[in-house]
Structure 1
């Protein structure tokens, strides 16, 4: 049985994209996974990496290294990189998968003569370009890693066509698109209740996503609509600010988040998944997130702003409505125009598209890529 190493500087057990890789490969190969957090519930060897908090003085020292362009010194002295090298010293693998550009130099060193596949979850050089400090320190570092190491990978995958095109245009590296689609869910569309339309948004409470615009949208919606949020407290202070903002609004609720495998079933009794994401950076402009495909697997209609990657798939499968702008009034106007029959048609369209927009399709594409490399 051949051996595969997966490296990701993320919380493995709650990283949907990495866990789909794990589920696809466990049992077929000897799989070793290196990353953060508790051991994932999978038949794999897990190498737990840790990052200890750094003092302000230490952070300032490393910021100076980045400003001075000492990218190699900065990279190889990161705690998680050194820990992984130590834990896996002397080990050999038939294939290494690096998740995101931050893991690529490490993956190449650990691979030796074995092929490396890099799976880029984002367009790394512009990931948080809306933040000045990130642009100054980490943007140039990510650009350096891309220029030096991307051409050495055996192949590259990423999440959508817009990001794939940018990697090719800037770095000359082609990539295969593997969508952030979950496994096919055995669910059915629920009927829409007369006079009541249930909207839901789920995901992480991240300030740069400006989730408050969806709260503001409710003021422009007619009384049929309610809005539920099911958010992971990535930014606990921001989540509390959102809750305080709707304290006197009975049509908005905050639901407890559920484990990743239960998300689609938890969404299923709603009518429309909603996501209004102002394009404050390149990755948000080209967003095609897990939640879009989870809405489909939950058999919901979808309501979004004019995010091109999501809008293209939504229009192709007639899954819902696209507002003409990212203003809350614009999406509210599109929603107010919908009838119960319109929404039920969107839910039926999601049911029809569920197989194509699931990991049954994209997982097969990933397996064929890995088999070719092996």
Structure 2
């Protein structure tokens, strides 16, 4: 297995082609932006600096199977020499990934839609994270993606932690980027007051970023919130397990937000936490199906605080026990089986 990506070689790869992290994966050069504006997509599809470097490093190397990570990698996948089988792991809904950003909506979204229409009908296999998004790809591009969720491995060594009778321990982990609504969670725990704490395990945004500075100030002003360094993904369930409720309330700025099934959901399950989520099609369904927690009535601090205030100690215990009961079903074992079957089929061609 050969990997091609930013950063150093992953442990499982036999060979690695490293792309300079400073190079953008979209055509953000003056010429590239001009071509995007003129809708000259065929001539710009490999002009992103990272894509150009990747194409040069691949040269005439041939492979049996190419896995394209997200739709923007499709032109490069089809550029690989020979006739490899191509598997596109789409993750989410590519045409409207960041349509809440004006420049992305005007220039990149039409390009992404063109790439999907041009290449997806020609791939051998496609995958995405849930049935709602798979249906969108089917309706728009006539493909039938298989489902590979953002689940993590089953942690049979963890069980629900006991409740502290004096405090409900809330937790949130992930990237500190605008739109994630972390500031509303901080405000919510302050509205809840005594008897509640919030621990944040955040990956900082860019140095000097105004959002990160403002968020740090909000955390510093909160008597109930503690900021911790980020935790490696494989250690996250052990750290989160000490808490009671995982909180993630994402406003629906894009179709991906409305149909999300994020890794946080699966992190909370393996950590044996109850959960408090904002309304979203897929997470609503699973939370209700397995009785894992509550769905807030909206996305404001007041909505979050009201939902948490309505959970009794007995309710928290029930949610944590239900997460324990559902942990194996909601682990990555099903997704790994799907991926192995895909590779078996592609290898047999």
Normalised by the shorter chain, which TM-score bucket?
over 0.9
* 239-248 or 100-109, which deviates more: 239-248
Q: Provide the C-alpha distance between the structure 2 equivalents of 1:223 and 1:137, rounded to a whole number of angstroms.
A: 48
Is the CA contact 1:34–1:47 (under 8 Å) kept in the aligned structure 2?
yes
Out of 164, 173, 176, the position equivalent to 2:143 is 173
Q: Provide the C-alpha distance between the structure 2 equivalents of 1:59 and 1:85, rounded to a whole number of angstroms.
A: 17
Out of 167, 173, 191, the position equivalent to 1:196 is 167
Corresponding residue number in structure 2 for 1:22: none
Give CA-to-partner distance per residue, 1:214-252, whole Å, 9 cap, x none: 122223324221111111113442222111013232210
* 243-252 or 214-223, which deviates more: 214-223
Matched, 1:274 2:247: yes
Measure how far apart 1:52 and its partner are: 4.0
Secondary structure of the structure 2 residue equivalent to 1:287:
coil
**Runs of 5+ in structure 2 lacking a partner?**
none
Matched, 1:310 2:288: no
* 103-112 or 139-148, which deviates more: 103-112
Out of 63, 83, 86, the position equivalent to 1:93 is 63
Judging changes above 3 Å, is the alpha-carbon distance between structure 1 residues 53 and 109 closer, same or farther for their aligned structure 2 residues? closer
Is the CA contact 1:108–1:153 (under 8 Å) kept in the aligned structure 2?
no
Give CA-to-partner distance per residue, 1:322-360, whole Å, 9 cap, x none: 112223222221211212221111111111111111111
* 168-177 or 109-118, which deviates more: 109-118
Secondary structure of the structure 1 residue equivalent to 2:251:
coil
Q: Provide the C-alpha distance between the structure 2 equivalents of 1:291 and 1:274, rounded to a whole number of angstroms.
A: 9
TM-score by length of 1: 0.87
Is the CA contact 1:189–1:351 (under 8 Å) kept in the aligned structure 2?
yes
Matched, 1:59 2:29: yes
Give CA-to-partner distance per residue, 1:98-157, whole Å, 9 cap, x none: 110011121122163221110012211100101111111100110110110111101110
Judging changes above 3 Å, is the alpha-carbon distance between structure 1 residues 71 and 136 closer, same or farther for their aligned structure 2 residues? same
Out of 45, 54, 57, the position equivalent to 1:84 is 54
Secondary structure of the structure 1 residue equivalent to 2:99:
coil
Is the CA contact 1:95–1:111 (under 8 Å) kept in the aligned structure 2?
no
**Runs of 5+ in structure 1 lacking a partner?**
1-30
* 325-334 or 270-279, which deviates more: 325-334
Corresponding residue number in structure 2 for 1:228: 199
Secondary structure of the structure 2 residue equivalent to 1:208:
coil
Q: Provide the C-alpha distance between the structure 1 equivalents of 2:247 and 2:44, rounded to a whole number of angstroms.
A: 40
Is the CA contact 1:220–1:333 (under 8 Å) kept in the aligned structure 2?
no
| Aligned positions of 1:100-179 closer than 5 A | 100-110=70-80, 112-179=82-149
Out of 31, 34, 45, the position equivalent to 1:75 is 45
Judging changes above 3 Å, is the alpha-carbon distance between structure 1 residues 34 and 299 closer, same or farther for their aligned structure 2 residues? same
Secondary structure of the structure 1 residue equivalent to 2:34:
helix
Is the CA contact 1:355–1:361 (under 8 Å) kept in the aligned structure 2?
no
Judging changes above 3 Å, is the alpha-carbon distance between structure 1 residues 111 and 90 closer, same or farther for their aligned structure 2 residues? closer
Secondary structure of the structure 2 residue equivalent to 1:137:
helix
Give CA-to-partner distance per residue, 1:173-229, whole Å, 9 cap, x none: 111111100111221110011021111110101112232121222233242211111
* 84-93 or 243-252, which deviates more: 84-93
Is the CA contact 1:264–1:295 (under 8 Å) kept in the aligned structure 2?
yes
The CA RMSD over aligned residues, in Å, is: 1.6
Matched, 1:42 2:15: no
Out of 178, 196, 211, the position equivalent to 1:207 is 178
Secondary structure of the structure 1 residue equivalent to 2:192:
coil
Matched, 1:350 2:323: yes
* 80-89 or 221-230, which deviates more: 80-89
| Aligned positions of 1:353-368 closer than 5 A | 353-368=326-341
Aligned residue pair count: 341
Matched, 1:291 2:274: no
Is the CA contact 2:269–2:330 (under 8 Å) kept in the aligned structure 1?
yes
Is the CA contact 2:3–2:9 (under 8 Å) kept in the aligned structure 1?
no
Measure how far apart 1:53 and its partner are: 5.6
